[in-house]
Amino acid sequence: MSSAFTDTAASSIAKTKELLKTLQLGALINGEWLRYPDTNSSALPPSLTPLLPSGVSSDKESEGDASASFAVTDPATGEEIYRLPALGPVYTRAAIAAAEKTHREEWGCERTAPVLRRHHVLLEWEKLVKQEKENLAHIMTLESGKPLAESRNEVMYAASFIGWFAEQIRRENGVIIPSPAGDKTMAAYRQPVGVCALITPWNFPAAMLTRKAAAALAAGCCCVCKVPHDAPLSALYVAKLAEKAGVPKGALNVLTTDSAGSRRFGDEVCRSEVVRKISFTGSTAVGKLLMRQATDTVKRVSMELGGNAPFIVFEDANIDQAVQAIVACKFRGAGQTCVCANRVYIHRDVWDQVVPAVVKLVREQIVGHGLTHGVSIGPVINHRAVNSIETLVENAVEKGAKILLKGGPNAKLKCLPEELSGGSFFLPVVLDCRAFDGHEEQGLKRRKYTAKRKREMAHIVQAEIFGPGF
């Protein structure tokens, strides 16, 4: 593996930081942008206090932490690139109230927000996201570490969701159903469910926001979104573009908070009787918790949780294509996406052809800052992720795994340039494994198995408690 950091990358970093200063991103509630350091994190500004009953415009439990904030860092360098307010629960309650008011008075009403209005607003949003592709991609790479080419792909992926739901809502005309009476028919029409709480992950920060919010807005629902604290900036910019496209104030509310605040956000939206649906993408453990909490108010829930996806190479496969696909499938997003293959099963007859070729191709990958031309693998999201992957590798070796390609966090000290010494890099590792307990894994670790019969393979890949994923 080689590494890279160039003067061009340094220039791109500087330009992207200047862009962020110009954009002045922050949380968005009822059309008002709440930025650091101007926002009291535990008490509402006067402009938002009318949203809540008198006397409940502050958080008693966090009054002493009015300036609470959190840093957004570049995972490739460890340097702070932006700071956002860590909003307390009172802001979640205000956002819910704003969404409910806009849903009741404007966006959820067919008279004031008919299908064609929602359709045209979403199409304008899609257009603006596409126009801002380069700026969004550079911001995404700076906050998440993914290579610029991957960020560009995600921006277009994010825009495609907006366009898709803009078109789908035009075709939602209800259905005519035969009646048990025989001489009558029944008509069924879909209605907006109400206020939706959306919780998005850091590994697809823009696309997961548009996939959830565009669907809700198209249906006439208003949203309260909690963006990921590790990579919130591209999502906030997408929200700014939604506002510019004509999404009314209160229809799309986006909150920023730290890790502790994320848990409090989940508590608030689950407790609220106004919120009628929760959509969450993230870990299985948190998904289970939200589902339990949502039962008290009988909310609808949509959960996209973890998987342990297999990649299977049978004896009749095209070896060259399989090798390319294994590396591409695993190492996109530094191995941290839910669509990455966590396990590779290779037929015994082609093991000796596939494995050396995979190791060779992984060794040829260029590791570095995502804004450097030619980089194919960036850092993982933070140092906690580095420690987690390191533990997984150590556990695998203790169980008898063979290291076919040794990377890891220590190898970066010899491989990466000085500018990236503070980054959360974990150079790719390839392991030859035989048996593991089923668990969800993310990171730059590749497991390999052998198998002979297709029926045996089907049983193996379905045996994981997390399911085969995508």
Please tell me the pTM assigned to this model: 0.91
Has residue 448 got a pLDDT over 70? Answer: no
Between CA 34 and CA 154 the distance in angstroms is 26
Q: Are residues 421 and 448 in the same domain?
A: yes
User: CA triplet 403, 407, 410: central angle to 5 degrees?
Assistant: 125
Amino acid, single-letter form, for residue 268: E
Task: Write out pLDDT tens, residues 54-113.
Answer: 766 666 655 446 679 999 999 999 999 999 999 999 999 999 999 999 999 999 988 899
Which pLDDT score is estimated for 356?
Answer: 94
Between CA 44 and CA 59 the distance in angstroms is 9
Q: Which region among 10-24, 138-152, 333-347 has the lowest average model confidence (pLDDT)?
A: 333-347
Which pLDDT score is estimated for 433?
Answer: 83
Q: How confident is the model at residue 172 (pLDDT cuts 50, 70, 90)?
A: confident
Alpha helix segments (H runs only) across 315-407: 319-331, 351-363, 383-398
Which pLDDT score is estimated for 173?
Answer: 82
Which pLDDT score is estimated for 415?
Answer: 65
- Does some domain include residue 9? no
Task: Give the number of C-alpha atoms closer than 13 A to the C-alpha of residue 126, restricted to the C-beta side.
Answer: 22
Work out whether strand 310-313 and strand 300-304 pair parallel, antiparallel, or are unpaired.
Answer: unpaired
338: helix, strand or coil: coil
Q: For CA atoms 84, 88, 94, 96, give the dihedral sign.
A: positive
Between CA 41 and CA 89 the distance in angstroms is 9
Whole-angstrom CA distances from 388 to 213, 360, 395 are 31, 25, 11
Between CA 353 and CA 368 the distance in angstroms is 29
Amino acid, single-letter form, for residue 414: K
Q: Which domain holds residue 324?
A: 310-462
Has residue 24 got a pLDDT over 60? Answer: yes
Average pLDDT over residues 254-282: 96
56: helix, strand or coil: coil
Q: Are residues 285 and 433 in the same domain?
A: no
- Does some domain include residue 235? yes
Q: How confident is the model at residue 411 (pLDDT cuts 50, 70, 90)?
A: low
- Whose structure tokens read 């340094």? 10
- Does some domain include residue 101? yes
Q: Are residues 272 and 397 in the same domain?
A: no
Q: Which region among 185-189, 204-208, 295-299, 320-324 has the lowest average model confidence (pLDDT)?
A: 185-189
Query: What is the average pLDDT score of the chain?
Result: 90
Q: Are residues 298 and 315 in the same domain?
A: no
Task: Give the number of C-alpha atoms closer than 13 A to the C-alpha of residue 268, restricted to the C-beta side.
Answer: 26
Check 18, 126, 273, 304 and give the catalytic one. 304
Instruction: List Cβ neighbours of 217 (8 Å cut-off, separation of 6 or more).
Output: 107, 118, 121, 122, 165, 223, 242, 247, 251, 252
Task: Write out pLDDT tens, residues 273-329.
Answer: 999 999 999 999 999 999 999 999 999 999 998 877 888 898 899 999 999 999 999
Has residue 214 got a pLDDT over 70? Answer: yes
b/e 105-115 (16+ beta carbons within 10 angstroms → b): ebbbeeeebeb
Q: Which region among 146-160, 187-201, 247-261, 436-450 has the lowest average model confidence (pLDDT)?
A: 436-450
Q: Are residues 52 and 122 in the same domain?
A: yes
Which pLDDT score is estimated for 439?
Answer: 44
Between CA 217 and CA 215 the distance in angstroms is 6
- Whose structure tokens read 């900036």? 233
Between CA 242 and CA 126 the distance in angstroms is 9
Q: In terms of Cα–Cα distance, which of 328, 327, 325, 318 is closest to 353?
A: 318
Which pLDDT score is estimated for 437?
Answer: 44
Q: Which of 275, 304, 333 is the last residue of a domain?
A: 304
Quote the number of domains for the chain: 2
Q: Are residues 335 and 410 in the same domain?
A: yes
Q: Are residues 226 and 350 in the same domain?
A: no
- Residue 304 catalytic? yes
CB 444 within 8 A of CB 380: yes
